[in-house]
Amino acid sequence: MFFAGFVVNAYISGAVIACLAAMVGFFTLLRGSAFAAHALPKVGFAGAAGAILIRADPIIGLAVFATGGALAMGWLGRRGRRDVAVALTLVVALGTGALFLVLQNGYASDAYSLLFGQTVGISSRQVFDTLVLGVAGIVSLLILYRPLLFASITPEGAQARGLPVDRVDTAFLVITGLATAVTVPVVGILLTFSLIVAPAAAAGHLTHRPLRSLATSAGIAVVTVWAALTMAFVTGLPIGFFVATISTLVYAGARLVEFLLRTRTDGGRQGVR
């Protein structure tokens, strides 16, 4: 069974998705935009439901709503409080999604499989799409790395140096939407957020160097997804549950390691990590 095509496909897409999600997570925590990262998968869910209603590919609906939602959050956020902007975007999208679901004939199993993630039956075509979009997201984040870091940490300073801070912010939201769109089909609506936040949070306790932290989160995420995939294949339970559980354990582990390192170095000189 382990050599079935879709299994290999799942591991390949899983790795790309994990890298992208974790890199998005690194900036998400730095910027304090966890709420947006949490909301976008749900916004995407509404899009998937809409796509199913008009008999289009749910993944396309997901991508359109997730990126559109990201833009809406950016637009509203510049005109009011950021958290309110996220909440309202989320709420409108979900209301529409509920309507889409009701308008369909009964139980839309496609939409529900997005809720929990889909690990079996991933086709080579899907893997290819995921690879292209995922790598595009990773590369754009690497290109945006310094301006995004600057705009996230000292926005006024970045603005004074002539950086288009608003545009950089929006670009990041759109990349978050894109990451959502590729992550959700595998990990599910409910747990995409885990994959974004948990590895980055754990890495934050292991190193304080930004690039190293970025790489560490990506590594943790890949291991998490592969382990979760394996357990999902073995048990037949939704992968999202395992992603969440493993993430929580890894986070706890990272804090333990930090604690142990600190108590060890507290005796002598403070260690430089």
Partner 1 sequence: MSGFGALWQDPQVTNALLVGTVVSALAGLVGVFVVMRGQAFAGHILTDVGAAGASGSLLAGVNAWYGFVSFGLLAGTGVEVFGNRARSRDAGTGIVLSFAMGLEALFLFLVTRYTNNAGATMLILFGSLFTADPSLTPVVVGVALFMVALLLFIYRPLLLCTVNPEIAQARGVRVRLIGVLFMLLMVLAVENASIVAGALLATALLIGPAAAAMRLTTRTSLALLLAAGIGVTVTGLGILLAYESYYWPPTGRGWPVGFFISALIFLIYLAVGFGRSSAGAGRSSAGAGHRPQKGA
Partner 2 sequence: MSAIPVLEVEGLSVTLGGRTVLDEINIRIQPGQFIGLIGPNGAGKTTLLRVILGLIKPDRGTVRIAGGTSRGGKPRGGNRFIGYVPQKLHLDPDAPLRGRDLVALGLDGDRWGIPFPSQRRHRRIDEGLAAVDALAFADKPVGRLSGGEQQRLTIAQALLTDPKLLLLDEPLSNLDIRSVHEVVRLIAGIGRQNGIAVLLVAHDLNPLLGVMDEVLYLARGRAVQGRVEKIIQKDVLSRLYGYDVEVLRTAGRILVVGGADSGLDVLDLAGGFHCGHEGGAIS
Contact positions vs partner 2 (CB under 8 A): 26, 29-30, 32, 142-147, 149-150, 153-163, 203-205, 207-213, 270, 272
Nearer to partner 2, 130 or 170 (CB): 170
The three-point CA angle 254-200-92 to 5° equals: 135
Spatial distance between the Cα atoms of 53 and 58, rounded to a whole number of angstroms: 9
Q: C-beta of 272: minimal distance to partner 1 in Å?
A: 20
Of 129 and 258, which CB lies nearer to partner 1 in the complex structure?
258
Contact indicator for 142, 20 with CB cutoff of 8 Å: no
By the criterion CB under 8 A, which residues form the site for partner 1? 28-29, 31-36, 38-39, 42, 73, 77, 79-88, 90-92, 94-96, 98-99, 101-103, 107, 112, 115-116, 188, 190-191, 193-194, 197-198, 200-201, 204, 237-238, 240-241, 243-245, 247-248, 251
**Shortest reach from residue 115's CB to partner 2, in Å:** 31
Distance CA 168, CA 165 (A): 5
Q: How far is the CB of 251 from partner 2 (least distance, A)?
A: 12
Q: Which two tokens stand for residue 157?
A: 């300073």
DSSP state of 121: S
Minimum gap (Å) between residue 164 Cβ and partner 2 = 8
Contact 85, 77 (CB under 8 A): yes
Residues 177 and 130: their CA atoms lie apart, in Å, by 14
The DSSP letter of residue 32 is: T
